[in-house]
Amino acid sequence: MKKILVAHDGSKHSDKALKKAMEIALSFNASLTVLSVIPELYLTELSDLDRERITRALTEETKIAMEKIRSSLASRSVETKTIIRQGPPAEKILETAQKMKVDLVVVGSHGRHGARKFLLGSVSSKVVDYASCPVLVVK
Ligand SMILES: Nc1ncnc2c1ncn2[C@@H]1O[C@H](COP(=O)(O)OP(=O)(O)O)[C@@H](O)[C@H]1O
Ligand SMILES: [Mg+2]
pTM greater than 0.85: yes
The predicted pLDDT at position 124 comes to: 97
Per DSSP (E only), the strands in 8-75 are 31-38
Q: Is the CB of residue 33 below 6 angstroms from any atom belonging to ligand 1?
A: no
Residue 33: strand pairing partners: 5, 81
Q: What residues contact residue 107 under an 8 Å CB cut-off, 6+ apart?
A: 6, 7, 14, 17, 93, 123, 124, 127, 128, 135, 136, 137, 138
Q: How many domains does the chain have?
A: 1
End-to-end CA distance of the chain: 22
Rounded to the nearest angstrom, the distance between the alpha carbon of 122 and the centre of ligand 2 is 7
The predicted pLDDT at position 45 comes to: 81
The predicted pLDDT at position 48 comes to: 87
> Which one of the ligands is nearest to 19 CA?
1
- Paired sense of beta strands 31-38 and 3-7, if any: parallel
The predicted pLDDT at position 75 comes to: 87
97 sits in which H/E element: helix 89-100
Q: Which CATH number goes with the domain that contains 110? A: 3.40.50.620
> Which one of the ligands is nearest to 39 CA?
1
The predicted pLDDT at position 7 comes to: 98
Q: Which of 6, 8, 14 to mutate to test the pocket of ligand 1 (most atoms within 8 A of CB)?
A: 14
Taking CA atoms only, the protein residue closest to ligand 1 atom 8 is 9
The predicted pLDDT at position 5 comes to: 98
Which residue segment(s) compose the domain that 14 sits in? Answer: 3-138
Give the chain's residues under pLDDT 50. none
Taking CA atoms only, the protein residue closest to ligand 1 atom 13 is 108
Q: pLDDT for 54-91, tens place per residue?
A: 999 999 999 999 999 999 998 889 999 999 999 999 99
Q: Is the CB of residue 69 below 6 angstroms from any atom belonging to ligand 1?
A: no
The predicted pLDDT at position 119 comes to: 85
Q: Is the CB of residue 94 below 6 angstroms from any atom belonging to ligand 1?
A: no
